[in-house]
Structure 1
Amino acid sequence: MAAEEESEMSEVLPREILKPFNKMPVRNAATVLLVGSYGTGKKQLAKSMVDVCTDTGLKLQVRTTTSLPLPEENTDTRPRIDYIAFIIDLTNRLSFSTVQSAVQCVDVEYFLGRACFVVTNVKGTSDHCVEMEEVSRLADMYNTMYICGGIKEGDPDERTTLANRLLQLVEVSAGRKNVSPLLVDLTCRQLSFQEEQTEFYTV
């Protein structure tokens, strides 16, 4: 289900850039990559996504990594990555710098509705090491939405809700819905902008 892949960040070479269309898609199947530093709850979120996917008819595989680029030795056997979620924990400064480095190893095509930032531990500000303004600037830089939700702490229903939201985006990205991933991304951003004054949830 969820497999941990580790790599060290170095100068990004063209062959190390993760591309969405370098392999053929598989019917009724999708692979999601969760990118985040240690302790951000990647495996918990991966399990929740697989659990909520049970009755959808989609064969979902969720992989995790603490950094990009992915190891070159597994390139041939690695499935096509249909969607990427970058996890940022506002109480963990390393999680933000990890994502900042990782996005540089991703092809621009992913930022056309095939990727998002997942922001956790938003509630409360006393223990924040990362400001929401920094996340917002990063999301704007890559023209990509971010979703706030809980993974490790609090009500497990919040993690399930987050998993469901991600699964909906994955299904679009994998071609299971008759709608463009870019259209969904732009619509989510527009709706969230209208609600931003009362509920700081998604951009």
Structure 2
Amino acid sequence: MTTTSRDEILRRVRQALGDQPGTTPDPTTIPRTYQTTHATRTPEQRTHLLADNLTDYRAHVHHTDTTALPTTIARLLTDHGTRSAVIPPGVPTDWLSATTGIHIHHDHGELTAHQLDTIDTVITGCALAIAETGTIVLDTSPDQGRRILTLVPDHHICIINTPTQVVDSLPQALPHLDPTHPLTWISGPSATSDIELDRVEGVHGPRTLDVILIHDNRD
């Protein structure tokens, strides 16, 4: 019987998984000897790389500390012309202590896609961020809320604590994430290009992404 390339690939997969008839492979026992990062970086260098890559993806990056965070959020809401915003249940109330004149919706799972489409901005935290790819990961924790919250409103303000929520690479990120949670991976504002490479933003997510990096240990 002739062995095809497909047969060989599947054989190697089964061999790597230790897949035997009647057994369930345990992914925790799979050897993971691949490289987990491409450089040795200090926490400061890691944060700078994240900021650079986020900017390359056309996100707007802002630097502040915990004390100035409410003022920064209020300024971004004003600059965007936000009239209404939505926050997940786990967002600290003091994040909005400097915000005035904006209707704040507190989502507890009842807002529909149609209602969210009438809201200008969503404000969330994140699970973590990946420096080498400029990616933010949301895992539906209380400060991030349901996936729909960050997919419908046209403007997303995302807060990242540095350096604790920043990892170098994707392989370093995965052990910190629960695979049973819905994960949203964000690399810049939503965008797509057609065959002529005409870029269109806001097709399947926020058109504008503001990322606030909190530095509480800056010199």
Global fold match (TM > 0.5): no
Using structure 1 for the length normalisation, give the TM-score.
0.34
From the two aligned structures, give the one with the greater strand fraction: 2
Using structure 2 for the length normalisation, give the TM-score.
0.32
From the two aligned structures, give the one with the greater helix fraction: 1
